[in-house]
Structure 1
Amino acid sequence: MNIQFPDGAVRSYEAGFSAMDIAKSISEGLARKVLAASVNGQVWDANRPIYEDSTLKLLTWDDQDGKSTFWHSSAHLMAEAVESLFPGVKFWVGPAIEKGFYYDMDLGDKKLSEEDLAALEKKMNELAKQNNAYVRKAMPKAEAIQFFTEKGDEYKLDLLQNLNDGEITFYTQGAFTDLCRGPHIPATGAIKAIKLMSIAGAYWKGDEKNKMLTRVYGVTFPNQKELDEYLQLLEEAKKRDHRKLGKELSIFTMDDDVGPGLPLWLPNGTIIIEELERLAKETEEDAGYKRVVTPHIAKESMYLTSGHLPYYQDSMYPPMELEGQKYYLKAMNCPHHHKIFAAEPKSYKDLPLRLAEYGTCYRYEQSGELFGLMRVRCLHMNDAHIYCTKEQFYEEFKAVNDMYLKYFKIFGVDKYVMRLSLHEPSKLGKKYVDEPELWKETEAMVRDVLIKTGTPFVEVQDEAAFYGPKIDVQIWSTIGREFTLATNQVDFAQGRRFKLEFTNQENKPETPLIIHRAPLGTHERFIGFLLEHYAGKFPVWLAPVQAKILPISDKFLPYAKEIVKELKKVGVRAEVDDRNEKIGKKIRDTELLKVPYMLVVGEKEMNEQAVSVRRQGKGDLGIKSLRTFIEEIVDEKFHRKSD
């Protein structure tokens, strides 16, 4: 059989060779790293025989599918440990998740404690060292039903109802056998470092009418060093939790009387919002955008025209009935912008037309999905829509991506990737607009921009917008946490739905292409990201208070207030700590508030018209003349320096 590798090379092997056999034929060192294999785009066990010409990618810990296989196999190892310590336990499902795995189980009248987790970890380590192979076995449905009937396992019998003969497989490692489609790593010995993280309750099938099962979360690694680093990262992430920092730094608050997912921005948070808006407005003005403002509600008819009803209705607030008409809270800005485009005749000379707005939108996220600023119901979006010809598309789409890169540099984002979200052909007319040729054309246009500009990207099926392909921008904070920042979407449908036209060079009507873009996403999500990215220590230009003046005693309060006046004249946000406290406490308290600059003033500073400068995270920078300090902080603020 012929096997094609990711680099395009093709080699011949005897039919029945497994991916592991092929890896060993290349090198023993490579084989030791292989966890699974992608065969014709499907993830397989590394030891599963291949009988026909195939494409092959060997999956290691460096591949996400390799990690997922490792963690799913670890879930089975945990189940084996649970079964050995708690005989009679019944299992539901045990998938890999973003970091690690969990398994849902029915322990009868027993309850797990933290001490039990320690015992389970110890048992898992014992079982892992046995290096038992994960053995796959296909089984007829009748035999599988008999197996679980004899065990009295209603959970696996329920799973079997939706499976057909020919698609049922069991996996066994050591003394544990489970219904599972796989794949799994070759053997338990690869699992070297184990940590069971927590215990939770989970309703069977996620239905609160069903029995509450016990869910155990865990994470494993191929070596102890990586586990230690991960646990350290978790500790750092707790310190950087935007909900915790948002409260400590008086950025935002939530109130039950206002409602879940509806943040209230405190003065400090509002300053950050205004600075982000100022950055966006300056950037967009330089790029030729025109600003618009649109209302917070609109009639049902507009959302029927746009297609958001019914495609997006589940995420919209229910309608209000007024004067015999239904009105919806605005869930997106695009239909309003389309109406602005249509308000006056356009010719090709007017294109590209770029309309920008920091628009307020309302989306009905499910209660269980709300999470601080990351998932909210009221959001302020750095939105814009570009109306252009097909000939202008490349440069316009590229310019939006360049804008992302500019922002990444300003905010110190070093790691990012663009997710090119494509449609699923089988869902045309249901989830996606039924225009197969336009889907192919626009997806190819976006891919072409990404390839020609050397932009790192991955392709993801079945995640496009209903009206066209899109790019979701994934970024990583300084501690390695991944965030979905923003989106850049192509729209080939709404122009026709709204009968948008311009007169082309042949003096004929033509429908423009539309690019939806939001490089800074929403205030809510982006400020949540920045809180965690900077650990609350904002750069000077973003900090709510940029300098705090700390007089050693009340005697120097008049001088401290003079400094504040001088700083405010040049646009620096400054305050005086006029409390009757010792200077050491004032410094400690200001450090906790993460104010970038502390200016300590006493007799010497007052006499010399100077300040003793302390920098957040850097300590004492010595005495500087007030004029020198003002020049330096204004330069730092004006150029939006990250440190």
Structure 2
Amino acid sequence: MPEDQLVTSAATIRVPAGTTAGTALRELDLPNKGPQAIVVVRDADGKLRDLSWAPDADTDVEPVAADTEDGRSVIRHSAAHVLAQAVQDLNPDAKLGIGPPIRDGFYYDFDVAEPFTPEDLTALEKKMKQIIKSGQRFSRRVYGSLEEAKAELAGEPYKLELVDDKGAGDDPEVMEVGGGELTAYDNLNPRTGERIWGDLCRGPHVPTTKYIPAVKLTRSSAAYWRGDQNNADLQRIYGTAWESPEAMEHYLAMLAEAEKRDHRKLGLELDLFSFPDELGSGLPVFHPKGGIIKREMEDYVRAKHIENGFQYVGTPHISKEHLFHLSGHLPYYSEGMFPPLRVDEERNEAGEITRQGQDYYLKAMNCPMHNLIFRSRGRSYRELPLRLFEFGHVYRYEKSGVVHGLTRVRGFAQDDSHSYVTPEQAADEIRHLLDFILGLLRDFGLDEFYLELSTRDDSPKFVGSDDQWAQATEVLARVAQESGLDLVPDPGGAAYYGPKISIQAKDAIGRTWQMSTIQYDFNQPAGFDLEYTASDGTKQQPVMIHSAKFGSIERFFGVLTEHYAGAFPAWLAPVQVVGIPVAEAFGDHLQEVAELLQRKGIRAEVDHSDDRMQKKIRNHTTQKVPFMLLAGERDVEAGAVSFRFRDGTQVNGVPVADAVEQIADWVAARRNESPTAELLAGQAQP
């Protein structure tokens, strides 16, 4: 068939009726090897299809390459099947759970007699590579009936449960039981077509195992069938798979770097924070050094809020139950809140209740209390936008399995703000907030972003009319697009009361973190009967715009710790300068320098310990102090000091007055790079 009849656009090809997608691709000579190899196609409905799929009518499809997110997902799901085949080859008694792709990898759950050991993972990875090298073909098969599937899967109890769910009309495990059909994927001998192994699966898969060019098993853990602790205990094996060995090497190097940067480890080594068992899961405490960093962060963002027109307020940590009914949190967010505290109940000597108690809740959000401040008196349109802000401590009942260091906690402080605006002001306010947030994140050294637009789906958890959601979503989308940043859809990710924009920031090693949010809320103003007097004298309902710049102080602290690998910028560092005398006799000279620095607001101290100078340098380099000042006999005689930096570079014989000025200027400029001999010399240039 002529090529011009197959190609319909730069992004699509036409697959003729009765022809497989793979055949159409081959006629166009599209790549079938390397990172750009086409592994599946996407049809007009957005559904991914195997290359062996043949449509009933001429169909335009989009080729999906291995090095795309969808392509990697298919590779990883195929790798999970190869893992399951390897497990059952080496342990025929193993029973299969499920094996979906996940972010950056895959896992598969197994019911086995003994937990997997590191030696088991080595043997399984070796077996997987043998299977991959053999080039087995993935072949989709539709079961003729539920009975046929049950007969074939009689020895797989977990698969049988999925089949039963399918028969009941449910689809709880979409990766295993798919669409309107019940399907399996067989692994076939590439030469004889003989079935070697198979699994109940929705698919799609890569054409053959050779399309899995890089795979590695990373770890194993305990798991529960379908995540329910009341169900069977299983063993889960995690792995990663990529479109090329180079891509996997890059990912594994990033993992190794991420492990070195783990904020939980650095928090302990640098004496910043801890998680005492006595307090409970997800409740961190900040030590003095961590407290300095936290205070600097808070002071800076507080000042920035005031510069941007916000008024600082304060609200309590708990409230009566009724407040959270007004806001909608108890009807729609109760699973994220701690159980109530029953107070004020009184009983007589006989134990009879003489005064009814009432339930109080720890607040999970600050917005209901800000609404009460807005409602405390009449408001005029002339006051809008009215911007309220606080560092409000909130408490959320995160499940123990998802609590993680500072980045997922149960008690935290939000730099929480709410803008009350007229509907006409909403777009400008969102634009103002987005500019504010991006500028603030850049001030802390994050400068690569994209936006995520979270909208509602058909779930009943969302409140409000279609028109309200459409208007709010349109405003957010328009402002986001005007920013010039990439905008990624997140269907179903909205808050119950309205859509939101999330700012996703990339850190120093390329990981993406969800940071700030801007949410458009038309529901809470209605629930609290908020109103303002418009220019024509009528009472109107404001729009409420939620925004959190850090998200939470704790989470942002954890992200910054990993972004900088604990080597915080000098303006944030708990100890900015440490004096290290070459010998005890020169300590007084450095003490005088430290006092000069302290008068300029610099956190400076002198190490008067009995350790030798080289050990002191090692200790303070390990503690990631940005400026170390050394002094020996020549420095004292010259009224000078010598600089030593984190990277080991040094500048000798700097007059004390110049050294103090250079350090003070560096800190005042809030420079986020680590000082070095070269950078300091550049700063000193006229």
Q: Deviations over 1:378-417 (max 9, x none)?
A: 1011110011112211111111111222133223324322
Could you tell which deviates more after superposition, 446-455 or 521-530? Answer: 446-455
Find the partner of 2:307 among 283, 286, 294. 286
Structure 1 residue runs of 5 or longer lacking an equivalent are none
Q: 1:113 and 2:117 equivalent?
A: yes
Q: 1:355 and 2:357 equivalent?
A: no
**Structure 1 residues 513 and 30: alpha-carbon distance in aligned structure 2, compared to 1, 3 A threshold:** farther
Contact 2:578 2:625 in 1 (8 A): yes
**Structure 1 residues 186 and 110: alpha-carbon distance in aligned structure 2, compared to 1, 3 A threshold:** same
Other structure's SS at 1:376 match: coil
Which runs of structure 2 are paired with 1:246-325 in the superposition (5 Å)? 246-323=267-344, 324-325=357-358
Contact 2:74 2:101 in 1 (8 A): yes
Q: Structure 2 CA distance, aligned partners of 1:14 and 1:203? A: 45
- What residue is the counterpart of 2:664 in the other structure? 634
- What residue is the counterpart of 2:585 in the other structure? 555
Structure 1 residue 155: Cα displacement: 1.4
- What residue is the counterpart of 2:406 in the other structure? 373
- What residue is the counterpart of 1:524 in the other structure? 554
- What residue is the counterpart of 1:576 in the other structure? 606
Q: Structure 2 CA distance, aligned partners of 1:464 and 1:4? A: 38
Structure 1 residue 52: Cα displacement: 4.8
Which runs of structure 2 are paired with 1:7-86 in the superposition (5 Å)? 13-29=15-31, 33-39=37-43, 40-52=45-57, 56-86=61-91
Q: 1:201 and 2:205 equivalent?
A: no
Residue identity in the other structure for 1:178: D
Identical aligned pairs, as a percentage?
39
Q: Structure 1 CA distance, aligned partners of 2:451 and 2:342? A: 41
Q: Structure 1 CA distance, aligned partners of 2:270 and 2:64? A: 44
Residue identity in the other structure for 2:222: G
Find the partner of 1:169 among 173, 183, 195. 183
Residue identity in the other structure for 1:571: G
- What residue is the counterpart of 1:412 in the other structure? 445
- What residue is the counterpart of 2:139 in the other structure? 135
Q: Structure 2 CA distance, aligned partners of 1:638 and 1:614? A: 20
Structure 1 residue 95: Cα displacement: 0.9
Find the partner of 1:622 among 644, 652, 655. 652
Contact 1:415 1:475 in 2 (8 A): yes
What CA RMSD, in Å, does the superposition of the two structures yield over aligned residues? 2.0
Structure 1 residue 214: Cα displacement: 2.0
Q: Structure 2 CA distance, aligned partners of 1:261 and 1:10? A: 49
Q: Structure 2 CA distance, aligned partners of 1:392 and 1:291? A: 21
Structure 1 residue 346: Cα displacement: 1.3
Contact 1:553 1:580 in 2 (8 A): no
**Structure 1 residues 432 and 4: alpha-carbon distance in aligned structure 2, compared to 1, 3 A threshold:** farther
Which runs of structure 2 are paired with 1:482-561 in the superposition (5 Å)? 482-561=512-591
Q: Deviations over 1:531-587 (max 9, x none)?
A: 110000001111011011111122122112111111111110111111011110000
Contact 1:373 1:524 in 2 (8 A): yes
**Structure 1 residues 57 and 382: alpha-carbon distance in aligned structure 2, compared to 1, 3 A threshold:** farther
Structure 1 residue 6: Cα displacement: 8.4
Q: Structure 2 CA distance, aligned partners of 1:462 and 1:280? A: 31
Q: Deviations over 1:298-333 (max 9, x none)?
A: 111111111111211111111122222321111111
Q: 1:92 and 2:97 equivalent?
A: yes
Find the partner of 2:432 among 393, 399, 406. 399
Contact 2:533 2:539 in 1 (8 A): yes
**Structure 1 residues 67 and 572: alpha-carbon distance in aligned structure 2, compared to 1, 3 A threshold:** same
Structure 1 residue 495: Cα displacement: 0.7
Residue identity in the other structure for 1:162: D
Q: 1:244 and 2:244 equivalent?
A: no
Structure 1 residue 18: Cα displacement: 4.2
- How many equivalent pairs are there? 635
Q: Structure 2 CA distance, aligned partners of 1:163 and 1:295? A: 49
- What residue is the counterpart of 2:202 in the other structure? 181
Contact 2:75 2:206 in 1 (8 A): yes
Residue identity in the other structure for 1:504: A
Structure 1 residue 472: Cα displacement: 2.0
Contact 1:3 1:56 in 2 (8 A): no
- What residue is the counterpart of 2:349 in the other structure? none
Q: Structure 2 CA distance, aligned partners of 1:6 and 1:561? A: 73
Structure 1 residue 343: Cα displacement: 1.4
Q: 1:329 and 2:362 equivalent?
A: yes
Structure 1 residue 48: Cα displacement: 1.7
Q: Structure 1 CA distance, aligned partners of 2:494 and 2:398? A: 19
Q: Structure 1 CA distance, aligned partners of 2:363 and 2:495? A: 17
Q: Structure 2 CA distance, aligned partners of 1:98 and 1:334? A: 33
**Structure 1 residues 19 and 440: alpha-carbon distance in aligned structure 2, compared to 1, 3 A threshold:** farther
Other structure's SS at 2:589 match: helix
Residue identity in the other structure for 1:640: R
Query: TM-score of the superposition, structure 2-length normalised?
Result: 0.89
Q: Structure 2 CA distance, aligned partners of 1:51 and 1:16? A: 6
Q: Deviations over 1:392-448 (max 9, x none)?
A: 111111111112221332233243221110001x22xx3110412101111111111
Other structure's SS at 2:31 match: helix
Other structure's SS at 1:102 match: strand
Could you tell which deviates more after superposition, 551-560 or 533-542? Answer: 551-560
- What residue is the counterpart of 1:441 in the other structure? 471
Contact 2:132 2:209 in 1 (8 A): yes
Q: Deviations over 1:246-269 (max 9, x none)?
A: 011111111121221111111111
Structure 1: which 4+ aligned runs deviate by more than 6 Å? Answer: 2-7
Q: Structure 1 CA distance, aligned partners of 2:533 and 2:27? A: 64
Contact 1:384 1:516 in 2 (8 A): yes
Residue identity in the other structure for 1:244: K
Other structure's SS at 1:134 match: strand
Could you tell which deviates more after superposition, 383-392 or 628-637? Answer: 628-637
